[in-house]
Structures are given as structure tokens and as C-alpha cells.
């Protein structure tokens, strides 16, 4: 990104103080947005195991209640900064991952000592975007020797993306139903079947900060993992929807066969499942809830930032 593209923002000139005893920018920062498109999300409730009920059972969790948190966000709410830095080799010390980006590294202090013309932190419509100070070091490039005993390196910083959702197609195995509803009197006798359906995939991002560099809130309140929480604190990995033979089968993990039918005694029962289908009356229409189709996975995204991936399918 050249100066002519930045207009009045005046970002990132080379800083020269003559001794290079501190890490200094060598050229302007490059900004790019790693996520494709804005987040899309489902307004549906989700079906989730509620261990607090007596007896525990699958329950409907409305939108806005943990773990059914799906805020909309623009693609530009996740940002990566790459910039070259120089330092004298006698003063070089390794930098810890998670080190926050200093917004002064992106300002032309000589042109604008007040910083007014720096990074605006918002879109033209004044909706907030990424604060540069909320970008964290995720990668240190190779050291390059320069004349005069200087070292040059390219550092990469990334913001912690907000929860985002994508939509895919997924083939899910739906269980059958065998149940007589008395009011009104309806007989349900449905065989199990496989169906490809629209499938929301939710991405939640967490940063592992064993050294306590960042003043972020710790999971489950916030998105920081620490030496106390570990990488898999209880509640982080969302389990897939299970179907049990009966209430005695939960502890022993005795599951309903793929060709089995939900009935009055299964977990969830056929009645519960039918209620999931009519849950979440959205704009006057019973659109139904969604199931967790696959147990969440957790993978490294960049540096110490991890992403939890959870797939949902509609109840049918």
C-alpha cells in the first residue's frame, strides 16, 4: 500500500534516530484482510445438552444465549499488518508472540505530530473497524543483515477476529420417528434418512496467552486461553448431537442406531424432537432450531490465535 493510496492517512514513514537501539519501522505497514466476505449467520435457536436440568436433557438455546452467540461482522473487522523493522544487531532481542502493535509505528509523526491524520479506526459511515493496538504479533520473519551492523525483519500482526459464520452444504443422517401424539392425535412413523442440507459453520477465535501479555478476559467470559484454562477448558469444545436409547443410556453412551427411531423413551424423545422442529418463531414463522452436526474442532489460525469450528444443521 503506497503513500499515494493512503491519501491523508500518512502512514508509516521510516523512523531514523541515528542509533537503532530500539526496534523501528522501516517503511509503511501493509494492511490486508484475511477473511473472505462479511460474516453471515442463522437467526435460529440451537439444540444443546443442558446438564443443569433435572434430569439433564436437550434444550433449545435462543440466539444471543451462550453458546448460541452469532454476531454479524464485516470482513474488515479482522486485519493483518505486515511491516519491516530494523534494529542494530547489538541491541536485538527476540520479541514475544502476542506483543501488541504500536499505532505509532503507522504514523508519520513528522508530518502530523498529533496523529490526527493516522489510522481512522472506522469505516466512512463511522462503523468501527480494527484498532491497530488490538493487533498482536503472530509471526517473525527471517533476519536479514544490512550494512552498518543493522538487522532487518518483517513482522506480522493480526487482530483477533470476532465470531463469524459461513454457509455450506452438508449431508446429515436424520433419525426416524415413532410416536403417537395424543393431543392432537397424530401418529408419527418416519424412517431414518440421509439428506444434504444448508449447513452454517461457526468460527470462534481464541488467543492463547500463557505469559499474561494481553489484558483480555479469560474464557468462558472472554476469548483468552491461559496456563490456567489450558487449550481445552470445559465448555470450549461443543459436542455433536447424540441420540440415546433411553435415559439409562446417557452415562454408558449407548447410542440409538443410525436406522433407529426416536420414541417416547429415547433421548431426545420424539416429542422433544418435534418441538425442536417448531422452535424459534422467527418473524411469525416457525423456522425450527439447529443441531450441532459435528463436534467442534480447534486449530491454529495464526501465531497463538486458534479457531474453533462448529457445524450446524437444521432440525428436520
| pLDDT confidence bin for 108, thresholds 50/70/90 | low
Predicted confidence (pLDDT) per residue in 5-41, tens digit: 333 334 444 444 556 888 889 988 999 999 989 998 8
Residue 233 confidence (pLDDT) above 60: yes
At which residue does the C-alpha cell 439444540 appear? 47
Name the least confident of 40-44, 202-206, 253-257: 40-44
Contacts of 245 (CB under 8 A, 6+ apart): 254, 255, 256, 260, 266, 267
Q: Note the pLDDT of residue 10.
A: 40
Q: Residue 8: its pLDDT value, please? A: 36
Mean pLDDT of 164-191: 91
Write out the E strands in 22-71: 24-25, 30-32, 46-50, 57-61
Residue 198: helix, strand or coil by DSSP? strand
Q: What is the pLDDT of residue 199?
A: 96
More confident residue, 122 or 63: 63
CA distance 133 to 126: 18
pLDDT at 4: 36
pLDDT in the model for residue 281: 74
Residue 43 has pLDDT above 60, yes or no: yes
Q: What separation, in Å, do the N-terminal and C-terminal C-alpha atoms of the chain show?
A: 49
Q: pTM for the complete prediction?
A: 0.86
The kind and range of the H/E element at 270 are helix 270-277
Largest Cα–Cα separation, the chain? 89
CA angle, residues 306, 253, 246, in degrees to nearest 5: 130
Residue given cell 452438508 in the structure block: 170
Q: What is the pLDDT of residue 123?
A: 79
Per-residue buried b or exposed e for 99-114, using 16+ beta carbons within 10 Å of the residue's own CB? bbbebebbbbeeeeee
In this predicted model, what pLDDT tens digit does every residue of 49-70 receive, in sequence order? 988 888 889 999 988 888 888 7
Amino acid at each position: 500500500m503506497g503513500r499515494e493510496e493512503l491519501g491523508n492517512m500518512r502512514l508509516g514513514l521510516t523512523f531514523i534516530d541515528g542509533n537503532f537501539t530500539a526496534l523501528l519501522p522501516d517503511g509503511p505497514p501493509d494492511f490486508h484482510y484475511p477473511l473472505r466476505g462479511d460474516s453471515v449467520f442463522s437467526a435460529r435457536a440451537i439444540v444443546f445438552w443442558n446438564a443443569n436440568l433435572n434430569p439433564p436433557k436437550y434444550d433449545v438455546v435462543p440466539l444471543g444465549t451462550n453458546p448460541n452467540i452469532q454476531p454479524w461482522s464485516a470482513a474488515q473487522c479482522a486485519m493483518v499488518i505486515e511491516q519491516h523493522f530494523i534494529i542494530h544487531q547489538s541491541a536485538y532481542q527476540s520479541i514475544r508472540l502476542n506483543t501488541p502493535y504500536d499505532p505509532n509505528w503507522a504514523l508519520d509523526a513528522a508530518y502530523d505530530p498529533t496523529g490526527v491524520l493516522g489510522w481512522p479506526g472506522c469505516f466512512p459511515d463511522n462503523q468501527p473497524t480494527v484498532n491497530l493496538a488490538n493487533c498482536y504479533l503472530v509471526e517473525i520473519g527471517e533476519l536479514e543483515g544490512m550494512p552498518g551492523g543493522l538487522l532487518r525483519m518483517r513482522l506480522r500482526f493480526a487482530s483477533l477476529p470476532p465470531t463469524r459464520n459461513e454457509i455450506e452444504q452438508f449431508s446429515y443422517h436424520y433419525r426416524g420417528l415413532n410416536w403417537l401424539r395424543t393431543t392432537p392425535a397424530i401418529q408419527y412413523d418416519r424412517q431414518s434418512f440421509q439428506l444434504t442440507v444448508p449447513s452454517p459453520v461457526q468460527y470462534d477465535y481464541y488467543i492463547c496467552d500463557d505469559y499474561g501479555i494481553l489484558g483480555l478476559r479469560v474464557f468462558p467470559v472472554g476469548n483468552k486461553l491461559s496456563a490456567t484454562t489450558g487449550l481445552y477448558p470445559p465448555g470450549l469444545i461443543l459436542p455433536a448431537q447424540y441420540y440415546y436409547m433411553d435415559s439409562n443410556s446417557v452415562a454408558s453412551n449407548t447410542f440409538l442406531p443410525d436406522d433407529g427411531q426416536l420414541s417416547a423413551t429415547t433421548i431426545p424423545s420424539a416429542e422433544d424432537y418435534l418441538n425442536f422442529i417448531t422452535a424459534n418463531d422467527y418473524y411469525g414463522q416457525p423456522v425450527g432450531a439447529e443441531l450441532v452436526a459435528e463436534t467442534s474442532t480447534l486449530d491454529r489460525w495464526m501465531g497463538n490465535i486458534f479457531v474453533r469450528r462448529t457445524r450446524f444443521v437444521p432440525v428436520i
